[in-house]
Amino acid sequence: MGTTLARIAGRARVSAGLVAHYFGDKESLLDAAFRSLARRVGDQVRTRMRNIDSPRGRIQAIIDANLAPEEFDRRTGTAWLAFWGQVLQVPSLRRVQSVYQRRTLTNLTNSLKKLLPPEEAHSLAAMIAAMIDGVWLRAALSGWREADSASARALLTEFVDRRLNTRLASPPDDDDAPRDLATLIAGTAIESAAVESTAIESAAIESAAVESTAVESTAIEGTATGGTATGGTAVGGTAGPQRFASINPATGAVLGYVSVAGPAEIDAAVRAEEHGQARWAAMTGAERARVLRQAAQILRSRNRELAELETRDTGKPIQETLVVDVVSGADCFEYFAGLAQSLSGEHIDLGGHAFGYTRREPLGVVAGIGAWNYPLQIACWKAAPALACGNAMIFKPAEITPFSAVELEQILLEAGVPAGVFQVVQGFADTGRLLTRHPDIRKISLTGEVGTGKAVMRDAASTLKHVTLELGGKSPLIVFDDAKLDNAVAGALLGNFYSSGQVCSNAARVFVHASVKTAFLERLVKRVSAMRIGDPMDPQTHVGPLVSEQHMQKVLGYISRGRAEGARAVVGGQRVTDGALAKGFFVAPTVFDECRDDMSIVREEIFGPVMSLLTFNDEEEVIERANATEFGLSAGVFTHDLTRAHRVIARLQAGTCWINHYNITPIELPFGGVKMSGLGRENGRAALEHYTQLKSVYVALGDVDAPY
Ligand code: NDP
């Protein structure tokens, strides 16, 4: 062990071996120490800002947290100084520093934009951030004689007040044009605060933007050759020649612009991952577990802001994203952290002369490609098992929902995942294809449509990659005559209208026994009619918009076809354009009665809030009809007869089934489809099989007898 580390261990009065084991070298120790310091300041900023509504108060909170007495403490100050001294020499420290400084800048800019036009907000934010760094550095270099925490804060406070008082004497100009993020050095990735002026956007934007530095910093750093953590991630950056706008589906407003990763960026990302993966895989399972648990904790601590970000990007109601999207991602990291520690092979007894064993090894660099309905959850469901097993992952979110995956990248870095182990690249199908065809990527895990799954599998075949495919469905829910009807109705609602019906496992075909059909329908219609459609940021809203205008048109097209084919919409059946909702892509939750198995609304995946009701008379008949589809993702049964429940479930062709419930996906249970709904499984221990490969080892215990 190097003498520096030994000295550090001595000073900390801990075992030198322990320090070497956990940190390896001095740079890793500094890296870990700085992440911890930066996280502490970040937490302080968040805590202080949480209860403050006024922009000026939030600016003060940032100043107070950054110049708090703890940061002027001699011991802490020495650690900060050691860090700043190394930043220019050590790339990993430079990345942490960049995230840390951009976060401060973004927080300041977002608050200032409530008071000043954007350009002035950016420039004043840059001045305040520079003064915070400057006053602290001078104080530290003077051995804390030149200023203490109180005088430093007073200096900044006076400066900000003076600047704002002068400026606020004349009102700011209106500026609501969408901003090109590539041109904004100090801006946030999600320029929504400046872009969106409608009431529907509410104050949530501000708090979500607080942590959105991730996007901006990746954009700045994400050049093809920079050797950065991101190797080409580019939301709002300048890496690719092509860019696209991301839209808030509730308002139609532009949330930000995103750069597309091309061949050079993908190649650079793969090279960075190869380096990162070697480092990550060399850590013990217990070490990886600790980092993944930390990621889970950060996700939980940022639940609200991430939920708000996800709601703005997808249109899913905040009452869902607050309790599902981020939380289930955190659960996933926690669960796979546990499994990382217990990854093991087998011992195989081969008699007295030999034994064998297997090693469960990572695949190497793998890629995840996500759909738009659960952007963060999908990223977590792929990243957590991949990383737990020692792989590195490049992740491409759907182009419609680019933001939350970038936050995840930053969270993983903050948690201690080495640079180049999880990177986000942005773009359309072409970017996805660059991943599926890349010779040095060992596996693709896709969540998407059946057609995309086939294309991905075809492309992956050229380099014989492993594939996991989580694809579409048209799942059946069977309600027998002995079912508790209120529960069955609740199951049908959960199975059709969550996330405005944009859920792959939805029970879009609800088979109800003819003898209870009238009672079922009556209760169903009553509850659907009471659902609240509206601003997804409103906690009372049950149904938000569909994810895009194009998707809304597709769903409305199916509704028209349903009517034309003879089905009767007993509730819903139209776009909703009341008041501010006219700007968004809202479709009323719709129930079609009088459906037949051959109708297109019954056969094809609509991926919207459209339920088809069908009736049946006996068990054999309903099983046959339920299975008469190319899909096989999920299925559900409501009955009080346990024998029948298990008998029917055993015969349904589906990867994930529920008895007396619907659409519950605990992380412990494997999830995936059969038939055209997919290959492989996510979640549960089963996911480990898909992110590792077995190596068999024969160990001879005697002499070698050759016949030659
Ligand atoms: P898509 O299949 O359109 O897209 C999925 C992802 O694949 C996107 O990131 C897309 O890029 C990318 N992609 C598209 N074509 C290719 C290609 N040829 N090579 C590589 N990547 C490609 O699905 P949606 O995003 O529209 O999501 C909805 C679908 O996902 C539904 O069918 C739904 O059932 C399914 N789904 C399945 C789940 C499951 O677990 N089984 C869960 C959630 C959804 P981009 O769109 O950015 O251009």
Atom of ligand 1 nearest to the CA of 371: 25
The two structure tokens encoding residue 574: 């139209």
Q: Is 583 a catalytic residue?
A: no
300, pLDDT greater than 70: yes
Closest to 301 in 3D by CA, of 191, 407, 402, 395: 407
205, pLDDT greater than 60: no
- Cα 398 to averaged position of ligand 1 atoms, centre (Å): 7
The predicted model gives 610-638 an average pLDDT of 98
- Cα 532 to averaged position of ligand 1 atoms, centre (Å): 28
Atom of ligand 1 nearest to the CA of 682: 40
Q: Write the residue with the smallest CA distance to atom 8 of ligand 1.
A: 398
The predicted model gives 165-169 an average pLDDT of 75
190, pLDDT greater than 60: no
- Cα 256 to averaged position of ligand 1 atoms, centre (Å): 21
Contact 37, 80 (CB under 8 A): yes
692, pLDDT greater than 80: yes
Atom of ligand 1 nearest to the CA of 671: 40
Residue among 400, 403, 447 whose CB has most ligand 1 atoms within 8 A, to mutate? 447
pLDDT band at residue 549 under the 50/70/90 scheme: very high
Q: Write the residue with the smallest CA distance to atom 1 of ligand 1.
A: 448
User: Between the CA of residue 52 and those of 48, 250, 384, what are the distances in Å?
Assistant: 7, 26, 34
For residue 464, the model assigns a pLDDT of: 98
Separation CA 509–CA 522 (nearest Å): 17
Element (H, E) at 610: strand 610-616
The two structure tokens encoding residue 147: 């200023």
Dihedral pair phi/psi, residue 361, rounded to 5°: -110, 155
For residue 52, the model assigns a pLDDT of: 85
Closest to 388 in 3D by CA, of 343, 325, 446: 343
Element (H, E) at 245: strand 243-247
pLDDT band at residue 195 under the 50/70/90 scheme: very low
How far the first Cα of the chain sits from its last, in Å, is 49
Closest to 362 in 3D by CA, of 428, 443, 283, 281: 281
In tens, the pLDDT along 353-368 reads 999 999 999 999 999 9
The predicted model gives 7-27 an average pLDDT of 71
From the candidates 265, 305, 682, 689, give the one annotated as an active-site residue. 682
Considering only residues 151 and 183, tell me which one the structure prediction assigns the higher pLDDT. Answer: 151
pTM, 2 dp:
0.75
For residue 278, the model assigns a pLDDT of: 96
For residue 47, the model assigns a pLDDT of: 86
680, pLDDT greater than 90: yes
Residue among 401, 443, 449, 631 whose CB has most ligand 1 atoms within 8 A, to mutate? 449
Q: Is 682 a catalytic residue?
A: yes
Kindly report which listed range (88-97, 259-268, 483-492, 528-537) carries the lowest average pLDDT score: 88-97
- Cα 453 to averaged position of ligand 1 atoms, centre (Å): 8
pLDDT band at residue 210 under the 50/70/90 scheme: very low
- Cα 371 to averaged position of ligand 1 atoms, centre (Å): 4
Q: Write the residue with the smallest CA distance to atom 23 of ligand 1.
A: 448
Q: Write the residue with the smallest CA distance to atom 37 of ligand 1.
A: 471
The predicted model gives 161-166 an average pLDDT of 88
In tens, the pLDDT along 367-411 reads 999 999 999 999 999 999 999 999 999 999 999 999 999 999 999
- Cα 320 to averaged position of ligand 1 atoms, centre (Å): 21
Q: How many other C-beta atoms lie within 10 A of the C-beta of residue 419?
A: 24
For residue 13, the model assigns a pLDDT of: 67
Q: Which residues line ligand 1 (CB under 6 A)?
A: 369-373, 396, 398-399, 428-429, 432-433, 436, 446-449, 452, 455-456, 470-473, 504, 605, 607, 633, 673, 678
Kindly report which listed range (90-99, 621-630, 661-670) carries the lowest average pLDDT score: 90-99
679, pLDDT greater than 80: yes
For residue 238, the model assigns a pLDDT of: 37
Q: Write the residue with the smallest CA distance to atom 20 of ligand 1.
A: 432
Q: Is 565 a catalytic residue?
A: no
Q: Is 196 a catalytic residue?
A: no
Atom of ligand 1 nearest to the CA of 452: 2
For residue 233, the model assigns a pLDDT of: 39
N residues, the chain: 708
pLDDT band at residue 53 under the 50/70/90 scheme: confident
116, pLDDT greater than 60: yes
For residue 241, the model assigns a pLDDT of: 54
For residue 215, the model assigns a pLDDT of: 35
- Cα 300 to averaged position of ligand 1 atoms, centre (Å): 27
In tens, the pLDDT along 451-484 reads 999 999 999 999 999 999 999 999 999 999 999 9
pLDDT band at residue 159 under the 50/70/90 scheme: very high
Mean pLDDT of the chain: 87
Separation CA 375–CA 401 (nearest Å): 7
For residue 3, the model assigns a pLDDT of: 62
For residue 428, the model assigns a pLDDT of: 96
From the candidates 470, 474, 517, 595, give the one annotated as an active-site residue. 470
Closest to 155 in 3D by CA, of 58, 56, 64: 64
Contact 415, 39 (CB under 8 A): no
Contact 622, 511 (CB under 8 A): yes
Considering only residues 269 and 113, tell me which one the structure prediction assigns the higher pLDDT. Answer: 269
pLDDT band at residue 442 under the 50/70/90 scheme: very high
For residue 170, the model assigns a pLDDT of: 55
560, pLDDT greater than 80: yes
Q: Write the residue with the smallest CA distance to atom 46 of ligand 1.
A: 398
From the candidates 332, 380, 389, 504, give the one annotated as an active-site residue. 504
The stretches of 577-631 forming alpha helices (DSSP H) are: 600-603, 619-627
